[in-house]
Amino acid sequence: MAWLSRPLTLVGLVILAHGCYSAHEHTVLSSTSVQHPTSPSATSLPLDIYIETIAATVLICLGLVLGSGAPQPIQWHTWAGKIEREGDAGSGDADKETLGNPFNALEARSGFININKLHKDFVKYQQLGK
């Protein structure tokens, strides 16, 4: 449906502009015409301009909503489940910061890191790999 978004918005904008122009023309004409200065039809806009404006606004809204991407999860468990399922690979765009579970830092505990043990384990790991 995404391909519909731009044409819909564009058509909506054109119709809206047309509606505005019609309203403007109508007021200019009715103020210059001297035959019926006090009749109600001269001061109020005709119905079709109202309809045109409202329809155009609806079209633009529809186009914009269709064009926006899939919404992010707003429920905690859905969001957390997405992180668990997809991990780092989940998000396609690189600039978005997906670092997995934000609470992993509490289990990793970088402030209390034991660097010597990590280094020894790493040396063992490398020897195993060879």
Partner 1 sequence: MPSLLLRPHASLSHAEALQVAQQAPEILRKNPASYSASPLFSLFSPPESSNTWTIYENLLLACLRTGDNTTARQCLERLVVRFGGSDERIEALKGLVKEAEATNDGELEKVLKEYEEILAKDNTNVPIAKRRIALLRAMGKTAESIEALVQFLDFSSTDAEAWMELADLYLSQGLYAQAIYAQEEALTIAPNAWNLHARLGEVLLMAAESGSEGNPQNYLAESLKRFCRSIELSDDYLRGYYGLKRVTDKLLAANSKGKKPSESDEFTLPETSTIEKLNQAATKKLGDIVRKYDAKDPLWQGYDAGEVAAARTYLSESSQKVLR
Binding site for partner 1 (CB under 8 A): 76-78, 80-90, 94, 97-101, 103-119, 121-123, 125-126
Between 3 and 112, CB nearer to partner 1: 112
Q: Closest CB to partner 1 among 25 and 121?
A: 121
Record the tokens describing residue 63, joined without a space: 């186009």
Counts of helices then strands in the chain (DSSP H, E) = 6, 0
Minimal distance, residue 129 CB to partner 1, in Å: 9
Residue at 47: amino acid letter: L
**Cβ partners under 8 Å of residue 42, min gap 6:** 30, 31, 33, 36
Nearer to partner 1, 37 or 73 (CB): 73
